[in-house]
Amino acid sequence: MIDTHMHADARSGEDFREMYLAGIDTAITCSYYPYRIPHEMILLNHLNRILELDTKRAMEHGLDLKVALGIHPTNSNINPETILENLYSWIESDQIVAIGEIGLEDLTDCEISVFKKQLDIANETDSKVIIHTPRKNKKEVLKVILDIIPQHIDESQAVIDHINPNVVGDAINTDCMLGLTVQPQKMDKYEAISILDEYGFDKFLLNSDISNKPSDPLSVPNTVNELIKRDYGKSEIEKVASGNAQKFFKI
């Protein structure tokens, strides 16, 4: 199984071991610094820590941790140029599988500007992007995101994450992949399965988004096991368990 969105820097080695023993072979950790950042070098140190330390910590417990790096919308108050320069280097050296997570939170001019710049880099380098949608005003913010994406990249390069039953209909007809985050206070496995039941398995990725907030490291295997219990087809389950992610991220 592949957990397609987590924040390894906020989690313990015991969490990695638990995930691995539950059948998660690979996970993708994304950048997100949960505190106010007064200077871009703090964020750069955070990104380097993910790349250099957290991948090693995860591997010690059996988990193959892939990396997505970028400027999360809540960190967009900094001067982005140093981070953007480093993105080119990480992409060129194949150190990251995507730019992410990026996106919008409060629809500020600064957020939108940084979001567009990162999409332009993805377009220039033919990179994948993992796009955050917020807990609050999700429908309103998603509408803006969906308007911006095709102006900067091909929709097939993007996964729009944290999709839930309230907004899935707004994004389902795009060429974007859609991330289903099964996490306390976001969406439970039954809601995720209801989406798969209605729209099929081809466009969706599963993730836990474990971070410093209430999280369940085993939400992906728990959802997959629930699908198995309900006798969904093996080939369909395999798509959201790992196949779609392997194809999209080329991992």
Question: Number of folded domains in the chain?
Answer: 1
Helix (H) or strand (E) run with residue 223 in it:
helix 219-229
C-alpha distance from residue 91 to each of 58, 86, 124, 126, 245 (Å): 21, 9, 11, 10, 18
Domain limits for position 16: 2-249
Q: Which pLDDT belongs to residue 95? A: 97
Helix (H) or strand (E) run with residue 179 in it:
strand 177-181
CATH number at residue 106: 3.20.20.140
Q: Which pLDDT belongs to residue 174? A: 98
Q: Which pLDDT belongs to residue 185? A: 86
Q: Which pLDDT belongs to residue 34? A: 84
The per-residue pLDDT string of the chain (251 residues; one tens digit each, 9 = 90 and over) reads 999 999 999 999 999 999 999 999 999 999 998 887 888 999 999 999 999 999 999 999 999 999 999 999 999 999 999 999 999 999 999 999 999 999 999 999 999 999 999 999 999 999 999 999 999 999 999 999 999 999 999 999 999 999 999 999 999 999 999 999 999 989 999 999 999 999 999 999 999 999 988 899 999 999 999 999 999 999 999 999 999 999 999 99
Closest residue by Cα to residue 192 from 217, 218, 163 = 163
